[in-house]
Amino acid sequence: MKFFVDTADIDAIAELNETGMVDGVTTNPSLILKSGRDILEVTREICAMVDGPVSAEVVATEADAMISEGRKLAEIAENIAVKVPLTWAGLKTCKTLTSEGKMVNVTLCFSANQALLAAKAGATFISPFVGRLDDVNIDGMDLIGEIRTIYDNFNFQTEILVASIRTVNHVTQSALIGADVITAPPNVLKKLADHPLTENGLAAFMADWAKTGQKIL
């Protein structure tokens, strides 16, 4: 399973990228706002840092404008995945841009039927938002399972990119179901390494090592 980092924070991306844990990056208008940077400038910088897909989102709501914005974003770098919302205008944009050889990430997916439409439109990635479903008392991971089954039934090549990841359990469950990609904030990705038994074991080893009076260097 691939790990995308969900941020426009250059320093956070660079830190995780050094460990080999960044297979791609996802951004959205809210993350661009949080970065305080120009969208074209910061996206270009991210694309130069990361080898994998970098999702940059259109902000228009009508298809013709979405297509124009998508083409503009795709000019930033070869690894841009144009991000469009799962609306009819977004699906039309997806079909047009994928026909031109561009990667497209269809976002804000909340149902299996929506995911089916995105695959039919040729989406490179479908982004179901599990955390937001959990917020309204719907198990977001059930949706991931439904999409996995549908895509496998019909051999769709669209990759399932699990978004709105809130906890490390979302990552575990996504992997068990067979999602292709997860995208998570840097703090969630870092928490994947945490375990109290690891911390306790390391503390015990260090205490015993101190008693030996030895040094490696």
Is residue 88 helix, strand or coil?
A: helix
Range of the domain at 92: 2-212
Is residue 104 helix, strand or coil?
A: strand
Q: Please give the positions annotated as active site.
A: 83
Q: Is the residue at 178 inside a domain?
A: yes
Q: Is the residue at 115 inside a domain?
A: yes
Taking only the tens place, the pLDDT of each residue in 154-173 is 999 999 999 999 999 999 99
Taking only the tens place, the pLDDT of each residue in 94-123 is 999 999 999 999 999 999 999 999 999 999
Q: Is the residue at 191 inside a domain?
A: yes
Q: Is the residue at 189 inside a domain?
A: yes
Q: What is the rounded (10 degree) CA torsion for 1, 170, 29, 93?
A: 60
Q: Is the residue at 29 inside a domain?
A: yes
Q: Is the residue at 217 inside a domain?
A: no
Q: Is the residue at 120 inside a domain?
A: yes
Q: How many residues does the chain have?
A: 217
In this predicted structure, what is the pLDDT of residue 128? Answer: 98
Please name the amino acid found at residue 62. Answer: E
What does each C-alpha distance from 144 to 32, 75, 106, 166, 182 come to in angstroms? 27, 32, 15, 15, 11
Of 125, 144, 115, the closest CA to residue 6 belongs to 125
- How many structural domains does the chain have? 1
Q: Is the residue at 38 inside a domain?
A: yes
User: What is this structure's pTM?
Assistant: 0.95
Given a cut of 50, the residues of the chain with pLDDT beneath it are none
Main-chain phi, psi angles of 138, to 5 degrees: -115, 130
| Residue 47's CATH number | 3.20.20.70
In this predicted structure, what is the pLDDT of residue 144? Answer: 98
The separation between CA 137 and the C-alpha centre of its own chain, rounded to angstroms, equals 23
For residue 114, the surrounding DSSP H or E stretch is helix 112-120
In this predicted structure, what is the pLDDT of residue 94? Answer: 98
Q: Which two tokens stand for residue 108?
A: 């804000």
Is residue 215 helix, strand or coil?
A: coil
